[in-house]
């Protein structure tokens, strides 16, 4: 695994949804109920910026056409679960939040 820092945990906790770019990869990072999750920042529909959308519970809502994806699993909303966006493995170490881009799951 190759770990890349997303930033300081205490700073990243201040926003429940944000868009980050890591090595030219758009990431939608969420912080909900004390847990970070990272999924692709690009919507399956027409490429909308998921990290610039909003949250509906644990679903990220695309700002362009309102498609929804679960922030932890990447699954589409109920009835569209098989429409998945990639998710990534995260870990906290020494106050930093790290992501492994090689852990990316397939887009479906």
d(CA 105, CA 108): 9
* Tens digit of pLDDT at every position of the chain (108 positions): 899 999 999 999 999 999 999 999 999 999 999 999 999 999 998 999 999 999 999 999 999 999 999 999 999 999 998 899 999 999 999 999 999 999 999 888
How would you list the strands of the sheet with 96-100, edge to edge? 3-8, 96-100, 87-93, 35-40, 25-32, 17-22
- Enclosing H/E stretch for 10: helix 9-12
Which residues on neighbouring strands pair with residue 56, listed in sequence order? 59
Which residues on neighbouring strands pair with residue 60, listed in sequence order? 55, 69
Dmax (CA) of the chain: 40
CATH architecture for the domain at 3-103: 3-layer Sandwich (2.102)
| pTM for this predicted structure | 0.95
d(CA 49, CA 41): 6
pLDDT for res 3: 97
């Amino acid at each position: 695994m190759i770990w890349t820092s997303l930033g300081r945990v205490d700073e990243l906790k201040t926003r429940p949804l944000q868009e980050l770019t890591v090595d030219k990869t758009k990431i939608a990072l969420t912080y909900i109920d004390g847990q970070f999750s990272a999924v692709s920042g690009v919507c399956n529909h027409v490429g909308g910026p998921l990290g610039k959308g909003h949250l509906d519970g644990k679903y990220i809502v695309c700002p362009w056409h309102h498609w929804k994806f679960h922030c932890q699993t990447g699954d589409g909303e109920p009835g569209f679960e098989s429409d998945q966006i990639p998710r990534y493995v995260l870990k906290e170490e020494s106050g930093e939040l790290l992501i492994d881009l090689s852990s990316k799951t397939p887009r479906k």
